[in-house]
Amino acid sequence: MAASAHVRLERNGAIATLTLDRPEQLNPLDWQTVRDLLGLVAELEREAALAAVILTGRGKAFSAGGDLESYLELYRNPARFRGFLADFARLNAAIEASAKIYLAAVNGFCVAGGLELMLACDLALAAEEARIGDGHLNFAQLPGAGGSQRLPRAIGVLRAKELILTGELLDGRAAAAIGLVNRAVPGERLMAEALAVAGRLAERSRVALGGAKYLVNAGLRTDLAAGLEIERGFVHNYATAEPDATEGLVAFKQKRKPRFGL
């Protein structure tokens, strides 16, 4: 896709970084930014050698959420507002369905739409000084990009209702303590830690990474019995047909580093 004025893309071997790049506005997720992200996610999905994508923001925010002024215009045009909501839903679904592992590096404010974007990612690291929460009700808004559904699945119903209803923002350590992010690190080390995690992922089989992600996400969409059936079928097909599965065992037996395909 053409270069985006709202999102910066950088590649470093098997790792890509998408940076929301309007720091003066705290990296709002307006419709154009959402469409730019959709295009970039689709572009990265076609890159077989890519293992992980880091998603972060420049400045004081990961993303403080939607552009409230543009929402006023969208509210006056229901068809356009429905289109915006549909594109935001497609973006989060594309991240979840991707064979790549998406890692949110939450550097500052992560509120409302920013939280909803983070929740679509597979892993999340937060700066200790980050401020993370739903925040919609602070302005009489409602989560419309998956927050009311993904948040309780991530941290439980009671915690999710508390964050949604009170609009409370948590720092990185508090977010890690309730399982909203994987862990909190000092802000100056955030990107180094994110790159280190992504680097470890890049050493693994791309097919196995995507398969593990698929199994967890697919299981969450159904009951335990159906999830176990999905797991058995998928793992049987993977183990009997995917060369990386055999290569991993042979490498272990020969006491060498695996040589996975792409």
Label the pairing between strands 183-185 and 123-127. Answer: parallel
Residue 2 has pLDDT above 80, yes or no: no
What's the whole-model pTM score? 0.93
Q: Where are the alpha helices (DSSP H) in 3-77?
A: 31-45, 68-75
- Asked whether 133 and 168 are in contact (CB, 8 A), the reply is yes
> Tens digits of per-residue pLDDT, 7-38?
999 999 999 999 999 999 999 999 999 999 99
DSSP state of 173: H
> Tens digits of per-residue pLDDT, 50-104?
999 999 999 999 999 988 888 888 999 999 999 999 999 999 999 999 999 999 9
Tokens 């076609």 correspond to what residue?
Answer: 46
> Tens digits of per-residue pLDDT, 185-223?
999 999 999 999 999 999 999 999 999 999 999 999 999
d(CA 1, CA 8): 12
Q: Specify the amino acid at residue 195.
A: L
- Asked whether 144 and 88 are in contact (CB, 8 A), the reply is yes
- Asked whether 57 and 107 are in contact (CB, 8 A), the reply is yes
